[in-house]
Chains A and B, each alone.
Chain A
Amino acid sequence: MKLEGKRLIWQEYQKEIADDHYFYARSCIRQTFFPGAEAVFVKIMKDELGKDIHDEQHHTSCTGIGYHADVVPFDTTMTVIARQFALMTEAGYENYAASCVTSFGLYTEVLETWHHFPEKEAQVREFLYKATGREFNKPKNLAHASDIVYKFRHQIAAKAKYKLIDKNTGEPLKVVEHIGCHYSKMFPHKGIGGAEYPYVLSGMIEAWGGEVIDYPERRHCCGFGFRQYIVQANRGFSLSCSKKKFDSMEPYQPDMIITNCPGCPMFLDRWQYALSEMEGKTYGKNNNGIPVFTYEEVAGMIMGYDPWKIGLQLHQVSAEPLLDKIGIPYDPLSKFKGKNGEDLGIPETPNYLKFYAD
């Protein structure tokens, strides 16, 4: 296949993304491990792009991890999702924006199920009314938050202070993009670029100056596998999947990994630490790892936000070599300090993986 042709395959899969007025549903995993990423998304949408985004206090987990760990039945999950739609309706919104890829996949699955089985939708409406007295309209537009950042990638690039470029050589950074499985593997037409050549993150990387790396295991799962990570006895599954990806991308010497799913960046970050402790193996130069970021964090980095206010200190694989390469300034001494400079101590240094604590 000619490379040019391959680059265009994604264009067959397009989707409509609303231009403004979003009902934002947060992600359990993203809030837990990368709360700064959600804060960056809201800040860019409101302050940089002037968009209306509703941050709903009454929404809960969609139950997605419970559903895919098979402890929550489908009827229950559909009704909890119907409640989220009711909250959106009551708040006066029609465009639903999900922070979580598992949630986005589930919302898509539920809407498709109701499309093919209208009697199921009617039953869920009855369930919801009986349980809560609420009624709902279905979203007119459903997007993952990465779809929205993709839509405005050029506007973000126009306001950015930095590019994904090596400040010393002027060369584009080599970037691995990793798409959460449930973004488009189940419903390829609901994701930008489909499932085989998704473009949602590649589009951001290219717009922001980087070069996308194409490597053999690009589409392989990070290994979350729900029960395969959550239960300690099964974690070898999760680790093995991530290792397969690292081994596959290593020869291309990536500068960084960008992800759109909340869980993937945590696993791809933590398993690099675990592999270094288990085998003494690191995947970057000079005992560094390959830093892993959410797309919101990368947007925040190029906008010039303080790396420690957007949460890069919560990554086990240190971001400093990449920040240095781009030329993004940071204060090493405030990395692990509190909001007002209070001393919170510093994490222990790993045995192999290079760590920057001050």
Chain B
Amino acid sequence: MGELYNRLAADIRFVESLKACINCGTCTAICPASEFYNYDPRIIATTVQSQDDEKIRELMSSDVIWYCGECMSCKTRCPRGNTPGMLIMALRSLSQDMGFFTESEKGRQQLALKRGIGDQILSAGYCVHPQTVDPAMHPEQGPVWDWAFENLNPVMDKLGANFNGEGAGALRKISRDDLDELKRIFEVTGGQERYDKIEDFSKQKAAEMGLEFGTDTHSEYFNHIYTANNQKHNHE
């Protein structure tokens, strides 16, 4: 039993999600990610269960742990009550804490998720907000969303939202005081530290790759990780 395994075992989600996997493969049969990606949650459980630090390190540096969609369908069906999807969450957390995530194409995408969803939680109080669902980055949203995006104020007004307004209601402006409370929660609980680590490790990787790092969602490195797909992730 090595250091990496011990750190994984300290994650409460790990404790809850792995009780002697019997390798039946039920999770793989039900897993939407296994249909799309070259991915097998059964092997994730087997690898972690081996307690072999070398294999666990390899797993955390690979694309494989980033294929899961966290739908948790595996939880419903596992005859042992295990949850490979939560094992994945523990692996992803440790991969980011230790910097292994920048070693894979899919892992490097964590910076895009931090700068998109993560930063928006602290700046606006929302994970998703209509002003940031930019049709240029979301062509699949279609022409109705293009129209709504161009007319957000009158459209939201017609539908009863309190768009960027004071007080209660849909899409209200979250007050500075409330955002400050969120910020302090992130500082006290390790959320800010996680954000900082994602930025720091990604910055090192951007330098290695010779890409401009920047601080927003328009830098060379951001654009690269947001769009790069080597087409080697799926079943042949």
Q: Which residues of A contact B (CB under 8 A)?
A: 26, 28-29, 31-33, 35-36, 38-39, 55-58, 60-61, 63-66, 68-76, 78-80, 83, 105, 113, 116-117, 120, 127-128, 130-132, 181-182, 185-186, 188, 195-196, 219-221, 223-228, 230-237, 239-241, 244, 270-271, 273-274, 308-311, 313-316, 336, 338-339, 342, 344-350
Contacts and interface: CB of A to CB of B under 8 A. Distances in A.
Contacts of B137: 232
A215 B126 CA distance: 35
Contacts, number: 265
B226 interface: yes
B146 A75 contact: no
A55 B72 CA distance: 30
A72 B185 CA distance: 11
A68 B154 CA distance: 32
6 contacts: A33-B130, A60-B126, A72-B118, A181-B72, A232-B227, A234-B229
Contact of B16 (A113, A220, A231): A113
B144 A237 contact: no
Contacts of A33: 130
A43 to B, nearest CB: 8
Interface of B: 11-13, 16, 32-33, 35-37, 66, 68-73, 75-76, 83, 89, 92-93, 96, 106, 109-110, 112-114, 116-118, 121, 125-130, 133, 137, 140-148, 150-151, 154-161, 167-172, 174-175, 178-179, 181-182, 184-191, 194-195, 198, 225-229
B127 A271 contact: no
Contacts of A230: 112-113, 116-117
Given A338-B158, A342-B154, A273 B142 contact: yes
A31 B161 contact: yes
Contact of A185 (B33, B73, B110): B73
B121 A63 contact: yes
Given A70-B89, A270-B140, A316-B145, A344 B69 contact: no
B70 A225 contact: yes
Interface centre among A36, A57, A196, A225 (most CB of B within 10 A): A57
Contacts of B182: 60, 80, 83
A69 B160 contact: no
B36 A241 contact: yes
Contacts of A57: 167-169, 172, 175
Given A232-B226, A233-B226, A273-B142, A226 B36 contact: no
Contact of B181 (A29, A71, A113, A132): A132
Contact of B185 (A76, A342, A349): A76
Given A76-B185, A79-B189, A344-B147, A64 B127 contact: yes
Given A270-B145, A311-B159, 15 more contacts: A36-B159, A56-B168, A68-B70, A72-B194, A76-B190, A113-B16, A131-B189, A132-B181, A225-B70, A227-B66, A230-B117, A344-B147, A347-B144, A347-B147, A348-B143
